[in-house]
Amino acid sequence: MRCPYCQHTESRVLESRSTEAGQSVRRRRECLRCKHRFTTYERIEFVPVTVIKRDGNRESFDRSKLLRGIVRACEKTGIPQRRLEALVDEIEAELQQRFGREVTSNEIGELVLPYLRDESEVAYVRFASVYRQFQGIRDFVETLDHLKSHAELIERAKVSPTVAPEGDERETPASLNQAPQKPYSCAEMNQL
Ligand SMILES: [Zn+2]
């Protein structure tokens, strides 16, 4: 690992810390020559994932792009940057496990939303509005309705444990399946 200040290749590790999701290790190092300190991240090497975009083009999955989208959605919500990076770690790991080498941008979006919903409703709606390409107020209303029915479900679950959405919440209880789940096409919107 080269020192970013003097390019010397030897350094000593002052501190190692695992990130929240355990996907990477952060190391604080000190250059043995110039004594400058710098930070390195060691990350599990993933199989490269190809993202199939809406227009059919393909590109490599870009972790920093996902992080930027999430950071933008979470602006002024008070969620610390470290938490957002841990979220991206979790999302990336799940992406690998569930979709393997190819994933559509739509699937990524749908994967991200439940994570954001647990962090901040504001971030959830912002993210949905960008990636689902909201066209107007109806899209927002539908998303808010969906959010509301989810919140009510959680609320009811507190009263009656039988409907508790436990573990993987993508295994939605039957009552939630009645709510609008998918983005609506323009044609559908016009019929509203
Ligand atoms: Zn140095």
**67-119, pLDDT tens digit by residue?**
999 999 999 999 999 899 989 988 888 888 888 789 999 899 999 999 998 89
Residue-level length of the chain: 192
| d(CA 18, ligand 1 centre) in Å | 24
| d(CA 140, ligand 1 centre) in Å | 52
Measured CA to CA, the distance from residue 170 to residue 1 in angstroms comes to 41
| d(CA 11, ligand 1 centre) in Å | 8
| d(CA 19, ligand 1 centre) in Å | 25
Amino acid identity of residue 105, one-letter, is S
The answer to whether 127 touches 66, Cβ cutoff 8 Å, is no
The answer to whether 21 touches 86, Cβ cutoff 8 Å, is yes
The answer to whether 154 touches 142, Cβ cutoff 8 Å, is no
The verdict on pTM exceeding 0.75 is no
pLDDT tens, position by position, 174-192: 444 444 444 444 444 444 4
Measured CA to CA, the distance from residue 81 to residue 102 in angstroms comes to 28
pLDDT value of position 149: 86
pLDDT tens, position by position, 12-35: 999 888 775 667 888 999 999 999
| d(CA 145, ligand 1 centre) in Å | 56
The answer to whether 115 touches 90, Cβ cutoff 8 Å, is yes
With H, G, I as helix, E, B as strand and everything else as coil, classify residue 64.
helix
| d(CA 38, ligand 1 centre) in Å | 9
The answer to whether 53 touches 106, Cβ cutoff 8 Å, is no
| d(CA 14, ligand 1 centre) in Å | 15
Calculate mean pLDDT across residues 113-132. Answer: 88
Do β-strands 50-52 and 58-60 pair in parallel, antiparallel, or remain unpaired? antiparallel
Domain boundaries, the chain: 11-43, 50-133
| d(CA 24, ligand 1 centre) in Å | 24
| d(CA 47, ligand 1 centre) in Å | 33
